[in-house]
Amino acid sequence: MAKPLTDQEKKKQISIRGLAGVESVADLKTNFNRHLHFTLVKDRNVATKRDYYFALANTVRDHLVGRWIRTQQHYYEKDPKRVYYLSLEFYMGRTLQNTMVNLGLENACDEAIYQLGLDMEELQDMEEDAGLGNGGLGRLAACFLDSMASLGLAAYGYGIRYEFGIFNQKLVNGWQVEEADDWLRYGNPWEKARPEYMRPVHFYGRVEHTNEGAQWVDTQMVLALPYDTPVPGYRNNIVNTMRLWSAKAPCDFNLKDFNVGGYIQAVLDRNLAENISRVLYPNDNFFEGKELRLKQEYFVVAATLQDILRRFKASKFGSTEFVRMDLSTLPDKVAIQLNDTHPALAIPELMRNLVDIEKLTWEKAWDIVVRTCAYTNHTVLPEALERWPVDLFHNLLPRHLEIIYEINQRHLERIAKLYPGDSDRLRRMSLIEEGDVKKINMAHLCIVGSHAVNGVARIHSEIIKNTVFKDFYEVDPQKFQNKTNGITPRRWLVMCNPGLAEVIAERIGEDYIRDLDQLRKLVKFVNDDAFIRDVAKIKQENKLKFAAHLEEQYKVKINPNSMFDVQVKRIHEYKRQLLNCLHIITLYNRIKKEPNKSWIPRTIMIGGKAAPGYHTAKMIIKLITSIGDIVNNDPVVGDRLKVLFLENYRVTLAEKVIPAADLSEQISTAGTEASGTGNMKFMLNGALTIGTMDGANVEMAEEAGEGNLFIFGMRVHDVEALDKKGYDAISYYNRIPELKKAMDQISGGFFSPSQPDLFKDLVNLLMHHDRFKVFADYEDYIKCQDKVSALYKNPKEWTKKVIHNIAGCGKFSSDRTISQYAKEIWGMEPNLGKIAAPDHLH
């Protein structure tokens, strides 16, 4: 009998990991040793694991550089239309393995590292996540960068290089505690500082109106220092750029106005200017109107627009002698996509550049701005919409306030002509909200200043047209579009789940990695016993691997034969982790009532961060951990039910847990989750979904067949009807005995014996002011969970549904999403061809 393959031999058999040619392996080893010696100045006998990681990262980075220079040269020569994706968040995670995948270097690097006597996974674990985002919005930006490069678009991601990204979450006695994320402590091998492209950014000051036009004077200046990170496409030799700005005080900062003897203090005060790029605001779906945040928003926009205009003027158009001066062609060469309203200041800032500096007429400038900019809306929750106090603007950005007033005046004149005498409509549609404090509605600014406005799933795009932006849709229906979100199959399948990627490739070839619609071909294998077995086997291996990871990292033992029921996402009332809690308690009570019945064992995992100032979300975490303390230590239950809170959920943990999940929980109140993207990751990785008809779940059910998802609960129209009637939580509490029992246990201190009233605020919330109607969906959710357990008893039928789901994933590739943005918003054509590799790589 042949001896079982080692992990290393198994990896080499995975064809999608690229070729490990003898020469390339030898070269990699040589370059690794060269970097260890010359870049890190280390001898092998004193090198640490971190040194080895940096040597490997630099070795892989070398393979990017030639392609990066070549790509940028190619853009300069061809002068294509360029797209600028502006986002305050880019949630990138780790870069090393993704780069190896996209360059086809994975097997060669594995073999080289193996021959050097090192462990690839240990080295990869030395890399810090680039956690420059909160959740969906920031991760979407990262997937979009991957797709734009893979589709050959001349694209640039522009954002802020936060010194501290999303906090690290620690659990102390079941409570969340935040720790600063010092991700740059050991240096970042993937970035290159570009001090030669430093730009000034101005704040404060006042406006002088002269014959020459408006002048913004007496400002305070901060420098924006760019750091470039390469973004490789999938095996097409294209490498685009993500440019993140860092704030730097100018040399003469606070020294101009010579305050006698204040030299030391002046140098120390440089920190004030440099605080702009210090830390990511950790709120997801919540607006916090702080001056520092507004500074961040203007900082990224002002620096980026200078870059865009410089590049537009300097790029070739058949000739090098001329600088392009005619700005009327800007929309033919530049598209600016606003990722939510956070970079909305691009609209008045571009106007300021065109009118005050380039001296265009208002009308001409406005036409250019609208044709250049487009806006993506990410939420309808009122507490998340940005509304900046006018006073803050007047102080920080006085010229931009004037420009916004002018935009608003012209906008309202147009509306008044269309709807004479309708003053209420003017009030609703104004960019300025009157009230105790006058506020600027940034979403209204974005809609008026853009030629395209899109939602991020079909149902969400309909909701914005029918509710929040209804007035704007009536006036400009042609502006409104849908672009259903997607995820990159490189990171979210090939990289995190190579076993599944390979068994798919064995059946339908590898082309699906660039054209995910080809997964449809798997439908014909839905009754193929060998394929069913392979898919189930990969899932079991992933579960064993994740169980081992949990045991190693957190010393918790779980039953790998139990159903892995997973809800990982930011903690928020609308995402209804509380509904999941009520199911856990109900399941616990049922097992206690009939301990001898044969229950389907479950390991329920919930993970996610709560914004530090969001008290309710922090209480939800404490409730989950408290339920776990009771359930996990009850001998009657044994390993038939375990409850785990996954600490410090982030991109890198998602890449481990998602391939191991059996059941994906997507249970927001219908009409509240704009799209969701975690839902798509679970679907692609062979989990089944239990969910409401919300966000992209609706389209997932359409693609895979509604019978292949576990859909429950109110639809949007039911929620609206219940709002009209009035939601009465107590009636459900009185009518449903299992719900009453669970709530009584929470309020009576069953899960917090030392502090019986610990959860009184949560109980009060659910009973008296629950905007998200947890109880209204409880009964259907429990019934639906019973169906889940019944199907899990039959592994073959379960796996058939899994295959239908994987086969229906094609639509949810970010390649499809980006192709639609390119054609329908940016006026660009995706290019699936390769460009030539640099000469020395032929």
Residues taking part in catalysis = 378, 569-570, 575, 677, 681
- Long-range contacts (CB closer than 8 Å, 24 or more residues apart) made by 70-77: 70/237, 70/239, 70/835, 70/836, 70/837, 70/838, 71/237, 71/238, 71/239, 71/240, 71/835, 72/241, 74/835, 75/154, 75/315, 76/315, 76/316, 77/316
What is the phi/psi pair of residue 608, to 5°? 150, 155
DSSP track, 758-824: TTHHHHHHHHH--TT-HHHHHHHHHHHHHHHHHHHT-HHHHHHHHHHHHHT-GGGBHHHHHHHHIII
Alpha helices, H only, 555-670: 577-593, 615-631, 651-657
Alpha carbons 29 and 609: distance in angstroms, whole number: 40
Token digits of residue 274: 């440099």
Alpha carbons 813 and 41: distance in angstroms, whole number: 43
Which run of H or E residues covers position 689? strand 688-691
Alpha helices, H only, 658-705: 678-684, 697-704
Cα three-residue angle 653-659-660, rounded to 5 degrees: 90
Token digits of residue 503: 């068994």
Residue 607, phi-psi category: left (phi > 0), alpha (psi -120 to 50), beta (remainder): beta
Token digits of residue 236: 């097409």
Asked if 605 and 565 count as a contact pair (C-beta separation under 8 A), the reply is yes
Query: Which residue from 28, 126, 145 is spatially nearest to 491, judged by alpha carbons?
Result: 145
Alpha carbons 818 and 468: distance in angstroms, whole number: 25
Token digits of residue 310: 């410089």
Alpha carbons 612 and 7: distance in angstroms, whole number: 41
Strand 334-339 to strand 213-217: parallel, antiparallel, or no bridges (unpaired)? unpaired
Alpha helices, H only, 217-361: 263-268, 270-274, 291-314, 330-333, 346-352
Alpha carbons 505 and 499: distance in angstroms, whole number: 10
Neighbours of 746 (CB within 10 A): 23
Alpha carbons 107 and 104: distance in angstroms, whole number: 8
Neighbours of 186 (CB within 10 A): 13
Query: Which residue from 240, 222, 220 is spatially nearest to 231, judged by alpha carbons?
Result: 240
Residue 173, helix vs strand vs coil: coil
Alpha carbons 673 and 695: distance in angstroms, whole number: 5
What is the phi/psi pair of residue 766, to 5°? -65, -35
Asked if 57 and 190 count as a contact pair (C-beta separation under 8 A), the reply is yes
Alpha carbons 222 and 220: distance in angstroms, whole number: 7
Alpha carbons 724 and 767: distance in angstroms, whole number: 18
Provide the residue type at 400 as one letter.
H
Token digits of residue 315: 């790029």
Asked if 435 and 444 count as a contact pair (C-beta separation under 8 A), the reply is no
DSSP track, 250-284: -TTTTTSS--TT-HHHHHHTHHHHHGGGTB----S
Alpha carbons 344 and 557: distance in angstroms, whole number: 48
Beta bridge pairs of residue 84: 156, 336
Q: Which residues of 765-782 are buried (b: 16+ CB within 10 A; e: fewer)?
A: bbeeebebbbbbbbbebb
Could you say which DSSP state residue 648 is in?
T
